[in-house]
Each structure stands twice: as structure tokens, then as C-alpha cells.
């Protein structure tokens, strides 16, 4: 079987959560089947072995211009004898419909969330128009890869799509088992030494691209709501914020806030994840965050997150490793943070790795693709 993945934005190199999700999906897919990638112009070459990569698409902000590449894409599909086309997100799925029409090849939407709902949350006045489009392309797809059961249920029950076939393909991890305790302690020692943190302090971590509005919102909540509450108690802690592309005003706010450390972009984010007592996600607006939550859990680190950001993650298999806090409730969020050392910190169970290891996830995807 030969698969063509079409990605209309930058994912190589992968820095953000959503980029990592796409890159890892195709990395593991390419190990099981012949994979051709067609990506946006600004991409570099993938750092894993694939059959061929073509970087010529307009990015998703100008994705309508890709209609001028129809002939070229049809030629590549025929040249490589592609069996299945995968379109990342619904943005460019109209192209999948056209390619299916001209080549007869089935196409799959790799849906990362229900975009219309995300646009509604962001108060985009046009979200309803996008929903009509999103429903239409999902109905036309031969198959859909959803990240969560909730998204698939939305398509089936709310959109009432008929003959709707799908597979749940969550964000995954490279790890197959928990890191050694020695590895976590070594990471903690290194991070504490680098940032002059007392070894007895509770360390919280937030990670993300820092010019992205949902991540900015999380940091604003940390500075303006959570920190004042934590400082009311005799609590020794530090909150480390990792990420690049920070604006000067936000940098100054972090710098002037007690117990906050801006570590900037770090080459080895796993080092910081393993060093932390907890990974925190206080905002309900965050998108692309599930990859970071899965990474934290895989590294055997407690996660404290807004309930909006854990939808689709199977909490039942996590032994209290993931704590959900209701939206817009910084009091409760800070109370949970204060109790971090008192919480029964069980190891991430092996069932989590069986569910979220990328190789196992892609095995499910391959079975679905073979049936098209």
C-alpha cells in the first residue's frame, strides 16, 4: 500500500505540539507502508525515511491557491501509484475531494479537532460558516482519523453524518515504558542546578510557543490569578515556562513575577518534563496541548489541567496521574498545586503505554487504510 500525506503548513522541523503530532504520525506510518509527503513550501526535509517529499504547497492561510496545483498532484498520485490520500485537517479537505474525483483514489481526513468548535471558542464570527464546510468535507471523506471519541461522537450525533466510518488515532509517545527513577532524579538535579532552584522546591512546568494566544492566556492566568493565590501560603515552589517566540511585554511580566522562570526554548524538553513535579495547563483555550499532556504522562509526570484540555484522554487508565480542574476556577487549580507533594503519585500504568505508544496507534491506522 502506498500513502500520500498532504500537509498545508509547516511541520518540519516540528517544534509545537500540533507539528509534533503530524511529524510523528508520518514517521511511524512510513515504517509500515510506503509514504509520500506533499507539504507547504516552508518545510525542511523530514528527519525520517520516506519514499519522497515535495515541498511546494501554499500554507493554509493561502490554501485556496493550491487549486492551481491540482494537475501536479494528480500527476504525482499516478506516478507513485498512490492508493490512499491523507489530508491533514479539514482546511484543505476540499482538495481531497477534487483529487478523489480526478484519480478515483479514496481520501482520509486526519482531523485534529472539531475546528468549528475551536473557532467558536475563539469568538470568530464566521465559525458557523466554517461548520457547514467542515461537515460537508467530513461527509465526503472515505474515512476520518479523529483524535478523540468526543470528536467522532460530535460528527455522528450533531452533524448526523451517514455511512460515517472513522478510527480514533490519538496523539502518541515514543516511550514504551516509564523512565527510570534515576533518570528523573538526574533530570531534576540538572534543571535545579541550571536555574538555581532549591532541590526541595516543588517544580511546575508549562511549555508552548509563546506568541500563540492560548499559551499567552495560560501564562496570564499563571501570573495574574494562580501566583497571587500560591504566594498567600508558605509554599516553596517554582514555575518554569519553556518556549520560544516570546514578546517583550510578556517576557517582562514573567521576569517580574515571583517564582516564575522563563527558560526559553530548550533543545531537550523531556529533561524539563522529567524534572517537574507537575505539568500544568490552566487555560481552557489551549489547542495542540494534548501532545504535551501525553508527553508528560509518558515521562511519569503528574498533569494538572483544565478539563477542556483532557477530553479524549482515557483518565480511567491513569491512576490519578491526570487531575482535571473545572474551567475558570483558579482557586481550585491553585489548591491542587498546593497539594502536589501530598497527592498519591503513582506511576503511569503500563496500559497507558500500550494505548498511546505511536507504533500501536499506527497499526490501527494501517488496518483502517487497508480496508478502503
**Quick check: 203 and 197 in contact, CB under 8 A?**
yes
What does the alpha-carbon distance between residue 29 and residue 363 come to, in Å, rounded to a whole number? 8
Give the per-residue pLDDT at 285.
Answer: 74
**Rounded Cα gap, residues 348 and 317, in angstroms:** 9
The whole-number pLDDT of residue 276 equals 97
pLDDT tier at 311, thresholds 50, 70, 90: confident
CATH superfamily of 181-355: Glycogen Phosphorylase B; (3.40.50.2000)
Residue 123 Cα distances to 117, 118, 136, 260, angstroms:
10, 9, 22, 30
Contact, 170 vs 148, CB < 8 A? yes
Residue 46 is predicted with a pLDDT of: 95
3-state SS assignment for residue 304: strand
The pLDDT of 6-19, averaged and rounded, is 90
| Highest CATH level, class, for 2-172+357-370 | alpha beta
Q: Is the pLDDT of residue 134 over 60?
A: yes
**Residue 305: predicted pLDDT:** 93
- Choice among 118-122, 241-245, 349-353 with the minimum mean pLDDT: 118-122
Residues in CB range of 243: below 8 A, 6 or more apart: 207, 208, 209, 210, 215, 264, 265
CB atoms within 10 A of CB 200: 8
Q: How far is CA 66 from CA 79, 116, 152, 205, 297, in A?
A: 19, 22, 28, 40, 38
- Mean pLDDT score, 21-38: 97
Boundaries of CATH 3.40.50.2000 in the chain?
A: 2-172+357-370, 181-355
- Residue 143 is placed in which grid cell? 474515512
* pLDDT, position 288: 57
- Flag whether pLDDT at 26 surpasses 60: yes
Measured distance CA(289)–CA(316) in Å, rounded: 20
Q: What is the pLDDT at residue 111?
A: 95
The pLDDT tens digits of the residues spanning 191-201 come to 999 999 999 99
Mean of the per-residue pLDDT values for the chain? 93
**Could you tell me what percent of the chain has a pLDDT over 90?**
80
Amino acid at each position: 500500500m502506498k500513502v500520500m500525506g498532504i500537509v498545508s503548513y509547516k511541520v518540519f522541523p516540528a517544534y509545537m505540539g500540533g507539528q509534533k503530532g503530524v511529524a510523528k504520525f508520518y514517521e511511524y506510518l512510513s515504517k509500515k507502508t510506503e509514504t509520500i509527503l506533499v507539504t507547504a513550501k516552508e518545510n525542511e526535509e523530514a528527519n525520517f525515511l520516506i519514499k519522497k517529499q515535495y515541498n511546494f504547497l501554499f500554507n493554509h492561510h493561502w490554501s485556496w491557491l493550491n487549486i492551481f496545483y491540482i494537475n501536479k498532484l494528480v500527476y504525482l498520485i499516478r506516478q507513485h501509484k498512490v492508493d490512499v490520500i491523507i489530508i491533514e485537517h479539514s482546511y484543505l479537505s476540499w482538495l481531497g475531494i477534487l483529487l478523489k474525483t480526478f484519480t478515483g483514489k479514496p481520501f482520509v481526513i486526519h482531523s485534529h479537532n472539531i475546528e468549528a468548535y475551536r473557532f467558536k471558542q475563539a469568538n470568530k464570527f464566521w465559525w458557523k460558516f466554517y461548520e457547514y464546510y467542515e461537515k460537508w468535507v467530513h461527509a465526503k471523506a472515505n474515512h476520518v482519523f479523529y483524535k478523540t471519541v468526543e470528536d467522532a461522537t460530535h460528527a455522528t450525533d450533531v452533524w448526523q453524518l451517514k455511512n460515517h466510518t472513522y478510527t480514533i488515532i490519538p496523539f502518541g509517545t515514543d516511550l514504551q515504558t516509564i523512565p527510570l527513577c534515576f533518570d528523573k532524579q538526574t533530570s531534576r538535579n540538572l534543571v535545579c542546578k541550571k536555574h538555581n532552584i532549591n532541590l526541595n522546591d516543588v517544580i511546575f512546568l508549562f511549555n508552548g510557543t509563546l506568541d500563540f494566544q492560548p499559551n499567552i492566556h495560560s501564562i496570564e492566568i499563571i501570573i495574574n490569578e494562580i501566583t497571587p493565590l500560591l504566594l498567600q501560603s508558605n509554599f516553596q515552589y517554582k514555575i518554569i515556562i519553556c518556549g520560544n517566540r516570546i514578546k517583550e511585554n510578556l517576557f517582562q511580566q514573567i521576569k517580574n513575577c515571583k517564582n516564575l522562570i522563563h527558560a526559553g526554548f530548550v533543545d531537550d524538553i523531556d529533561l524539563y518534563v522529567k524534572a517537574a513535579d507537575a505539568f500544568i495547563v490552566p487555560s481552557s483555550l489551549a489547542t495542540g496541548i494534548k501532545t504535551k499532556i501525553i508527553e508528560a504522562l509518558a515521562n511519569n509526570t503528574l498533569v494538572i489541567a483544565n478539563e477542556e484540555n483532557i477530553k479524549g484522554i482515557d483518565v480511567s487508565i491513569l491512576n490519578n496521574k491526570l487531575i482535571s480542574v473545572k474551567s475558570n476556577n483558579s482557586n481550585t487549580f491553585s489548591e491542587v498545586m498546593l497539594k502536589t507533594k501530598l497527592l498519591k503519585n503513582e506511576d503511569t500504568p503500563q496500559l497507558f503505554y500500550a494505548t498511546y505508544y505511536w507504533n500501536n496507534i499506527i497499526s490501527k491506522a494501517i488496518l483502517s487504510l487497508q480496508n478502503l
